[in-house]
Amino acid sequence: MKKLATFILAIICFQVYAQDKTLAERLGYSKSDRLLIIHADDLGMAHSENAATVAAIKNGVVNSTSIMMPCAWSTEAGEMVADMPDLDIGVHITLTNEWHTYKYAPIASKSEVPGLVGLDGFMYKDCASVAQNAIPEEVEKEMRAQIEAAIKIGIKPTHLDSHMGCVFYGRPEYVLSYLKLAEEYGIPAMMNKQIVDAVIKPNALLFKDIDVDNLILIDEVAIANPEAYDEMGMEAFYTDVLNSLNPGVTVLLNHIAYDDAEMRAITTRFTHWHAAWRQADFDFFTGQKVRDLLKNNDIKLITWKEIGKLTDKNLILSEN
């Protein structure tokens, strides 16, 4: 009975990790402000993605992006953003190569990360295969190689996030490496309460050096899914997101490219996340409607750079 009581108490104590201030307040906003990062994933994946994403930043409302360093076009992305020093540009940690006919391999030497390399010599297509094959040391090595590669092409990464979420849906150790590397490079890593609940809390021992109380957690992550694309269409989906945005910090993820020959070939046999999907994202985030929605709903755009300033004062890792 005493044991059970201790166990329940431990659970209760662990769950009481809520920070005194909301992230919005820590950033200098009020608790009721609706704060938004409009974030384009997959920069560097293709020329089409680069050209459209940069256009959506320059001429649209996209104000943050992150780069897939293992892809053939990451160098071009680096050149394209060289004259935009204020741009939010994170490292989109990439552990998978989901496309059927367009290929990329890890940045790290294949012999050093064999668990990230499929039989075809490229990355696996899905997170489950990564989780099954890649030991944590390999994933950490590849994450570091991707961050270093970004720095090498002139990027000063503003944050880390995870392509297809494979860091979160893999092994808990991947999340630990992700947080440790963010700490090491002094930048925030995209995290939310769901990941804390699903990965960190059930593995308390593994994360014993992580100061969970001070983790920067995004309040909400919004992203179109296949159902939204098929049933509502992108404009209706995003309109709904922006009209019903909760107070706090939301990251709205999108994937911006042109519906052109290159992107259609890359996404061949994909019925979602494909060229038309990415063109729809481009169209929405460069149009007038999104500007009206942001204004009418009094939504304030913020950046990972602003969030990054908190990392100086609030270390992700505890100091012991």
CB of 51 to its own copies, least distance (A): 7
CB of 75 to its own copies, least distance (A): 5
CB of 69 to its own copies, least distance (A): 9
Site membership for its own copies, residue 19 (CB under 8 A): no
Site membership for its own copies, residue 74 (CB under 8 A): yes
Site membership for its own copies, residue 51 (CB under 8 A): yes
Site membership for its own copies, residue 79 (CB under 8 A): yes
Looking at 100-108, 182-190, 244-252, 296-304, which segment touches its own copies (CB under 8 A)?
A: 100-108
Closer residue to its own copies, CB minimum distance, 51 or 87 = 51
Site membership for its own copies, residue 151 (CB under 8 A): no
Site membership for its own copies, residue 196 (CB under 8 A): no
CB of 46 to its own copies, least distance (A): 8
CB of 145 to its own copies, least distance (A): 8
CB of 47 to its own copies, least distance (A): 4
3-state secondary structure the chain: CHHHHHHHHHHHHHHCCCCCCCHHHHCCCCCCCEEEEEEEEEECCCHHHHHHHHHHHHCCCCCEEEECCCCCCHHHHHHHCCCCCCCEEEEEECCCCCCCCCCCCCCCCHHHCHHHCCCCCCCCCCHHHHHHHCCHHHHHHHHHHHHHHHHHCCCCCCCEEEHHHCCCCCCHHHHHHHHHHHHHHCCCECCEHHHHHHHHHHHCCCCCCECHHHCCCECEEEECCHHHHHHHCHHHHHHHHHHCCCCEEEEEEEECCCCCHHHHHHCCCCCCCCHHHHHHHHHHHCCHHHHHHHHHCCEEECCHHHHHHHHHHCCCECCC
Site membership for its own copies, residue 232 (CB under 8 A): no
Looking at 136-144, 147-155, 198-206, 225-233, which segment touches its own copies (CB under 8 A)?
A: 147-155
Site membership for its own copies, residue 304 (CB under 8 A): no
- Which residues are 301's β-sheet partners? 36
| Cα distance between residue 179 and residue 175, in whole Å | 6
| Cα distance between residue 75 and residue 78, in whole Å | 5
Site membership for its own copies, residue 120 (CB under 8 A): yes
Site membership for its own copies, residue 126 (CB under 8 A): no
Site membership for its own copies, residue 75 (CB under 8 A): yes
Binding test (CB under 8 A) with its own copies, winner from 29, 104, 238, 284: 104
Site membership for its own copies, residue 82 (CB under 8 A): no
- Nearest one of 277, 197, 287, 210 to 242, comparing CA atoms: 287
Site membership for its own copies, residue 73 (CB under 8 A): yes
Looking at 17-25, 44-52, 291-299, 306-314, which segment touches its own copies (CB under 8 A)?
A: 44-52
Site membership for its own copies, residue 262 (CB under 8 A): yes
Query: What are the angstrom distances between the C-alpha of 1 and each of 6, 11, 15, 225?
Result: 9, 15, 21, 46
Site membership for its own copies, residue 72 (CB under 8 A): yes
The residues that touch its own copies, with contacts defined as CB under 8 A, are 47-48, 51, 71-76, 79, 100-105, 107-112, 119-122, 149, 152-153, 258, 260-262, 265-266, 268
